[in-house]
Amino acid sequence: MMKSADISPTTFVWQEILEPVRSGLEQVESRFHEKLVSSVPEVTDIGQYLQVSGGKRLRPALLLMTARMFGEIQSPAVNLGAVVEMIHTATLVHDDVIDGADRRRGRPSANSRWGNHTSVLAGDWLYMQAFRLAVEERNFHVLDILIELTQQMVEGELIQWGMIGRLDITQAGHLDLIYRKTACLFSACTRMGAVAAGKSAGQDKNIEELLAIYGTNLGMAFQLVDDLLDFTATEEVLGKPVGSDLREGKVTLPLIHVLERCTPAEHALVAKVMEERSFQSVAWEDLIELVWRYEAPQTVKRLAQEYAGKAVQAIESLPAEGLDTRSRETLAMLPELFVHRQY
């Protein structure tokens, strides 16, 4: 098998990765659109607005890639791909309301256009539609995964709310939050890819467990890099203002690393930014200088690389017999790509 280190992430673009599952993703998109129609016009408008906003469709793509390892993509994988994208979209709506965000993927957020009240209810409706579609599969194991996922994500949101404005967040606490907010959904996608392909019982249960490990570690690496890009990328690339986490009162791993090592005077600078929720008294450039002085980007990138390595190890532990080689190699290359992504 080709190792992830053999591929240059700069030459392996997302559109090339999607090619083997493009037809499946088009079906997911169609199913997603079909399920967005509500008797309440505002709900339909918000849902269709969010769908047009797009995104990389990373989560359904992961589910389809996983299912594709075991054969042709069938209807259950398409349905579940639409389910995870609907759940992800609902969480984005709720997150923007909670955070007071006015931009999402370079466009006005739903709450800035329709207001918080309507947006929260639209997000709730999307959740219920996702579960309604999942129930059509008549698979209790799928529902178990989705219920566990939803509980983890809601708990993550509550934990994050309790962390807002605090500077005493530990690395362990933040990593637990990343798991609940991001990695558990990645894990659910790769697990359900196996379930959709009929790989979840008997001897195949080990396959599902390995894919759960893969998804978890991939998600951890992805979010760590996401945290880092909030400090190192540009607004044009991200589609939202840099430093958004700090403006929302969130301390992520790059800054946790700095706060554990900086002087009292430097700590006071960060506290001032947190107090003002802006860069008025303290310039953004001064904060970035601190982040680089204490080598936070290098440290976070190394940790992301560790999680990426665990993800690759899980994929390489799968029994090779009967697996689609290209799909398996693609999944093995994704962790490295995510670690080196620029947006």
Task: For residue 126, give the CATH number of its domain.
Answer: 1.10.600.10
Buried b (16+ CB within 10 A) or exposed e, 193-215: bbbbbebbeeebeebbebbbbbb
Tell me, rounded to whole angstroms, the distance of Cα 215 from its chain centroid: 11
Total domains in the chain come to 1
End-to-end CA distance of the chain: 28
> For 12-20, which contacts have Cβ atoms below 8 Å and span 24 or more sequence positions?
12/333, 12/337, 14/56, 17/61, 17/330, 17/333, 17/334, 17/337, 18/57, 18/61, 20/65, 20/68, 20/326, 20/327, 20/330
∠ CA 68-73-77, rounded to 5°: 100
Q: What is the pLDDT of residue 243?
A: 87
Where does the chain have alpha helices with state H?
14-18, 22-34, 41-53, 58-68, 75-99, 110-114, 116-135, 140-163, 171-178, 184-196, 205-232, 235-238, 244-247, 253-259, 264-276, 284-293, 296-316, 325-339
User: Do 126 and 47 contact (CB within 8 A), yes or no?
Assistant: yes
DSSP output for 139-208: -HHHHHHHHHHHHHHHHHHHHHHHHTT-S---HHHHHHHHIIIIIHHHHHHHHHHHHHTT-SSGGGHHHH
Tokens encoding 260? 């554990």
Q: What is the pLDDT of residue 98?
A: 83
Q: What is the pLDDT of residue 54?
A: 64
Nearest-angstrom CA–CA distance, 35 and 44: 9
Q: What is the pLDDT of residue 8?
A: 39
- φ/ψ of 263, rounded to 5, equals -75, 165
Tokens encoding 297? 């980007």
In this structure, the chain runs to a length of 343
Distances (CA, A) of 234 to 182, 280, 286: 22, 19, 16
Mean pLDDT split into 10-residue runs, the chain, 343 residues: 39 74 94 89 86 81 96 95 94 85 79 90 93 95 96 94 94 97 97 91 81 98 95 72 86 96 96 93 94 96 98 94 91 94 79
Q: What is the pLDDT of residue 321?
A: 85
Would you call 108 helix, strand, or coil by DSSP? strand
Q: What is the pLDDT of residue 21?
A: 94
Tokens encoding 28? 């997911």
Q: What is the pLDDT of residue 12?
A: 45
Domain span holding position 294: 4-339
Q: What is the pLDDT of residue 108?
A: 83
Predicted TM-score of the model (pTM): 0.91
Distances (CA, A) of 221 to 253, 264, 312: 12, 31, 12
